[in-house]
Amino acid sequence: MIKTILATVDAQMPQKQIIEQAGQILKQGGLVAFPTETVYGLGANGLDADACKKIYQAKGRPSDNPLILHIAKKQSLYEIVKQVPQKAEKLIDAFWPGPLTMIFQKKDCVPYEITGGFDTVAVRFPAHAVAQNVIEAAGVPIAAPSANVSGKPSPTRASHVLFDLNGKIDMILDGGSTQVGLESTIIDVSEQIPVLLRPGAVTKEMIEEVIGKIEIDPAILSQSDENCLPKAPGMKYTHYAPKANVILVQGQDLAAVQKRIKELVKEDLRLGKEVGILATDQTKSAYGDGIVLSLGNRENPQEMGANLFKHLRKFDFLGIEVVYSETVAETGEGMAIMNRLKKAAGYQIIQVV
């Protein structure tokens, strides 16, 4: 057990003294969790293999799952990657700083320990003042996977980090709730045709508007985890999963979906189970039994994405055993929401016709 320092920090104008302390800890090879616009990250000096080893230990993360390096100015990219293809330059101009991670050929200074043995490295320039100031204070690229225990829903508040990692890391900077609430979009630009490896708030449609047609890793669209190994190693693990058994209920007719969920809930309650429902503002009042949490307005996928992990954690907190969830269309940010939901559900989907 180590003593974890918890410091509240202003999300827009982070206090210098706290940032300096975080920078010192990182320089000395320690671990600091901090907010980004996507989720909370668990930071370590990304060029120090020993420091990064501590990330894997604290999270219980499999060592073949590479880390994303976070930078706070564009120029830092050229110090860690061999080349920046023209399409990547365009994406940088359009979306950095922001929730977009890109995969490049790595330079020798990037240790294989953080790339899972690959010759490529994932890089992101986050759009959050706390994240940017911490990276600058450390003076090195910061490896920062989500600051949760591996397999659990990613943390969108400091309390989630504290719950998972108290006593295992040096410091947590509490900058309030994260805005996006889903992990960054990942696109591999190291090959001729860019490939989307993980959907996020920077959507396929937004990317294609800037660089034209891209490919999607088939694993993202797959309806099962089998026979389809994702190109981003981290995407193959059970993820985002609360303790509850999550089941998605999908269909064109929302009223029919609600009716089926109500029947399923009734039956589970009869069996004495604690049941939760993941609904939306438009549908939540239709459910009488079970614990109902709304992701937000169906017309506002940003709001739904921001609430997803918080609600999955809340079901755990409430001791819920089964969660029935509505689904959304897999376009725009809906692709990212459905990707996380399907993984949380282990691809258990009931089709309502």
Residues that bind ligand AMP (CB under 6 A): 65-66, 68, 103, 115, 118, 120-122, 145-146, 183, 186, 197, 231-235
What residues contact residue 267 under an 8 Å CB cut-off, 6+ apart? none
Which listed residue (36, 132, 146, 190) binds Mg ion by CB under 5 A? 146
Measure the CA angle with vertex 342, ends 182 and 175; round to 5°.
20
Tell the smallest beta-carbon distance from residue 231 to ligand AMP (Å).
6
179 binds Mg ion (CB under 5 A): no
Of 116 and 251, CB closest to ligand AMP: 116
d(CA 214, CA 188): 10
Q: Minimal CA–CA distance to 301: which of 206, 216, 222, 234?
A: 206
DSSP annotation of 333 reads T
Tell the smallest beta-carbon distance from residue 347 to Mg ion (Å).
19
Query: Scanning the structure block, which residue is given the tokens 């100015």?
Result: 73
Q: Taking CB positions, which residue lies at the least distance from ligand AMP?
A: 234
Could you say which of Mg ion, ligand AMP, none residue 65 binds, taking C-beta under 5 to 8 angstroms by partner kind? ligand AMP
Q: Minimal CA–CA distance to 244: which of 155, 194, 312?
A: 312
Tell the smallest beta-carbon distance from residue 73 to ligand AMP (Å).
20
Of 145 and 334, CB closest to ligand AMP: 145
Of 217 and 268, CB closest to ligand AMP: 217
Cα→Cα distances 308→142, 163, 169, 206, Å: 26, 18, 25, 22
Tell the smallest beta-carbon distance from residue 186 to ligand AMP (Å).
5
Could you say which of ligand AMP, Mg ion, none residue 217 binds, taking C-beta under 5 to 8 angstroms by partner kind? none
Tell the smallest beta-carbon distance from residue 274 to Mg ion (Å).
27
The region, left, alpha or beta by phi > 0 then psi within -120 to 50, assigned to residue 81 is: beta
Of 143 and 293, CB closest to ligand AMP: 143
Of 157 and 260, CB closest to Mg ion: 157
Of 18 and 232, CB closest to Mg ion: 232
> Could you tell me where the DSSP H helices lie in 145-253?
158-165, 204-211, 218-221
DSSP annotation of 347 reads T
Task: State the residues that interact with Mg ion by CB under 5 A.
Answer: 145-146
